[in-house]
Structure 1
Amino acid sequence: MSEPHRLISIGLDELQAFQELYKRDWPTYCAEFYCLDNFIRFLVAEPEIKNLKAYSLAEHRSDGLFIFVDRYQLFVGSLNSTNGGVARVLQLLDWSMGFKCSSIPTRHYDALSRVVREKCLEVEYDDITKLYFMPAARALQMELNVPSGFVLRSLRVKDAALINADWPNRHEGSLYFVKRQIKMCVNVGLYEESTQRLVAWCLRLQGGYLGALQVRNTHKRRGFGSLVATAMALRIAGLKQDVMALVNPENNPSCSMFDKLGFQVIDHCHWLRTLPVAGNFSWPDGE
């Protein structure tokens, strides 16, 4: 029997069982459900994927409590935000290399911030985002009109360098991240037919959200952001999945775009970055 208050590794079978728990009161726990869904897909496709670990606590398995440590990123979920399970599992992690705590549902934010304070961790940023949501049935009704001279298709791994270079949130290790998301998740790019130049794109993040949605400066103000967002929504809905996006409340153009597309704000999620305790850490190339 596992000892209480110790991290335990969890595998595919248990992750899949946890995912079923998060179907209740839909879409209350859609953030946790799709986070599990995407990492399960990763592990099915590549069982020995590097630097990806899933943990729980024996005494909180009935809550579906999980933590994913994906290199420097941390994802957490639980059906119970009041019994201390999230804080306990966060306390047991090694924070020495710093974490990018990603798309943390608001119901778990107090536990996260308390652990950060208790461990006296230095915080680089602490941001909140709106959780935009659209049911798959509604997304499948969206109209997609591609202008003449352009074509929509899945991104190529060779596009990753350009996407990473233009990404305002690029950072050490992000090129590997972009390559992996292109290989492992649904995505879309808008290309000029004549030159095959990539002019707009959208990825799907680990948590299942639309992300890294961007239009090249030379092609802005032509509705291409809405176009690739719509294309992504249709692709995700085609998998019989609902569609989510996270947007900073101060990003008025993006908020306006998702509002006009018919998404609804149903919750908020947090992004909190803690700095390494003892100097910077560099991820090996390709990891």
Structure 2
Amino acid sequence: MTVHISVNSEVLQRAQQQIQQDLKIALDAFFIPEPLKSAVNHAVMLGGKRVRPALAYATAELSEDHKNFAAVRRAAVAVELIHCYSLAHDDLPCMDNDLLRRGQPTCHVAYGEDTALLAGDILQSMAFEVLGSRLFDTQVTVDPSIVLKQMQILATSSSKMVCGQVLDLQAEGKKIDQEALENIHRNKTGALIQAAIMMSAVTVMDGVDAGIPKLREFGQVLGLAFQVQDDILDIVSDTETLGKTAGKDELVEKSTYPALLGLDAAKEYANKLHQQAISALDYFGDSASELKQISAFLLARKS
């Protein structure tokens, strides 16, 4: 059965405004010498869809108890810092050698390879410093066991992301099957998307809640859907719309879903994954509306 959900951009816009504010607060809390400080701001503050923070906030809406929302905000910042570090490193000449990111010169183009590399390095450690900090706290002290769980989730997903990147580089110019392709993207793309959801879930939900496996499934499937749509957009969109070089996947002979399945079949698969992700949220009823809105946006997006 096909589930139709209209895309409400207000959910994502609110999340973007919140995370942009919180990212600035977090970056201002660290002393970083120039030119590294400017490179870090370049890597982080130029915008983007901010999907991972949005998923963290939307997951928190599954609970009416918002006493630990400061920990959700820290998780949203931390996962976005890891994502931005990964982009700064992915764009390097030794990796994907990209010149554009979010419509601007990539970090290494603007600040040099050495500074871009170090910007990624410090963003990775800053993410964990933020998780263990008191940023955004009011009168509520978050249970340290929750912070530890968040750190474990983020560390594990970050390691998986790096392993996925290695597998992705190894697959360039080769023909691999769908199982191998999905193994790449469950790690490279999906792990951090799932982490954003689960870091929020352990903050607002009891550890034995039956909804935890449902959220884990939602995150895993959504991560795959996100990557399939990314692969499709690399073909059907243009550089100005994407904010990065269109057609790059084919140029470097990356293993992608359109290359493996064909463009039309890849589109069908993206829709199938979207429906599967939505079905995983049925357990939560109407309280999952924001998560469903974000999922619908990811399927309909043009960049």
Give the TM-score range, shorter chain. 0.3 to 0.5
Q: Is the helix fraction higher in 1 or 2?
A: 2
Q: Structure 1-normalised TM-score?
A: 0.32
Q: Structure 2-normalised TM-score?
A: 0.31
